[in-house]
């Protein structure tokens, strides 16, 4: 007859033995073909590329938006003050 306390001790021992067993390095007699290795390399490169592009987009698009707003403001300021443009053209003609 196994009571609850005894079964907990046995379970803890089994878990401990399994964890210690995982720490032991043994030789693995297995072969991974070149296809699996190339697939792993391709997946790793794709992951690095995706992360790089995400970081680039995270940095690039706010800068692009800022430059567009800046350009639009400068165009709006030129449209709002056509009289200044005429004055500057007139002063250029006077200088000649």
User: Where do runs of H (alpha helix) occur along 4-95?
Assistant: 4-23, 34-80, 82-95
What confidence category does residue 45 fall into, taking pLDDT thresholds of 50, 70 and 90?
Answer: very high
- Exposure string over 47-78, b if 16+ CB within 10 A, otherwise e: eeeeeeeeeeeeeeeeeeeeeeeeeeeeeeee
Asked if 59 and 66 touch (Cβ cutoff 8 Å), the reply is: no
**pLDDT tens for each residue of 63-80:** 989 989 888 888 777 765
Percentage of the chain lying above the pLDDT 70 cut: 76
């Amino acid at each position: 007859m196994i009571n609850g306390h005894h079964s907990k001790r046995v379970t803890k021992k089994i878990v401990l033995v399994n964890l210690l067993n995982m720490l032991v390095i043994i030789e693995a007699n297995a072969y991974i073909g070149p296809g699996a290795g190339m697939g792993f390399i391709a997946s790793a490169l794709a992951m690095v590329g995706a992360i790089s592009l995400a970081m680039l987009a995270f940095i690039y698009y706010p800068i692009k938006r800022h430059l567009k707003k800046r350009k639009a403001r400068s165009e709006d300021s030129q449209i709002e003050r056509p009289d200044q443009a005429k004055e500057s053209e007139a002063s250029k003609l006077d200088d000649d």
